[in-house]
Homo-oligomer: A and B are copies of this chain.
Amino acid sequence: MAIALELFSNRGFHATSVDDIIGAAGVAKGTFYLHFNGKSDILMMIIDSYLAKIYSSLLDLDISMDKPVEDMKRMYYDVTDFFMNFPDMKRFIKLMLRDAIASDEVIKSKVNNYFSQIIGMSSGYIKKAQREGRVVASIDPRACAVSIIGGVKELLYRWAVLEEDLDVRRCVATMVDLFFRGMLV
C-alpha cells in the first residue's frame, strides 16, 4: 500500500498500472489480487487507512470556538504540525485532492462524504457559537464552513500537488486572522 501510494501520488492513479505496482513491490500479479480486489480497492484501502488514522488523531482535539483567538491559532498550529509531519501525508493529500476526485464512484462518494462531514461539523460549531453570541448572527454557517474548508483545501493543494514553496504555518495564521477578524481595517 505504501508503494502504491507513492506511485499514485507521483504519476497519478490513472497513469499507474497494476503492473507498475507489482513491479515496484516485487510481487506477482496473482499476489496482488490475493490481497486486493483490484486497482480501485487498493486506493480505497489506502484512503480508509489514512482517514482512520487522521480521525483518531484529531479526536481528542477541542476545536470549539469558546477560547481567545490566540489560543485557537495555537491549536491550529498544532494540527498543521501534525499534518506536516505525518509520514507520507503529502502523498496522501495529493491522492485525496487530485486523484480520488476523478475515479471510482464509490471512492468519490467516500471522499466527498468525508469533506461534507467536516463541513457539517464546522457548520455545527459555528451555529452553536452564534447561539452563544460569539459569532455574528447574520452569517450563514454552512457557507462559512464551506469557505473555511475550501481555503484549507486550496492551501493543501498548492502545498502537496503543485509543490509550491509555501510557509504553511504562516498561511494558517493568516487564515485564522482572516476568518475571525476579516481583512478590512
Contacts and interface: CB of A to CB of B under 8 A. Distances in A.
Contacts of A173: 140
Nearest to A154: B150
A162 interface: yes
A182 interface: yes
Interface in A146-181: 146-155, 157-158, 162, 166, 170-171, 173-175, 177-181
Contacts of A129: 183
Chain A, interface size category, equals: 35 or more
Interface string A29-71: 0000000000000000000000000000000000000000100
A12 B136 contact: no
B143 A185 contact: no
A184 B160 CA distance: 30
A32 to B, nearest CB: 17
A84 interface: no
Interface stretch (A20-28, A74-82, A85-93, A98-106): A98-106
A131 interface: no
B153 A170 contact: no
Given A136-B181, A183-B139, A147 B162 contact: no
Contacts of A144: 174, 178, 183
A126 interface: yes
A7 interface: no
Given A146-B155, A147-B154, A185 B133 contact: yes
B183 A183 contact: no
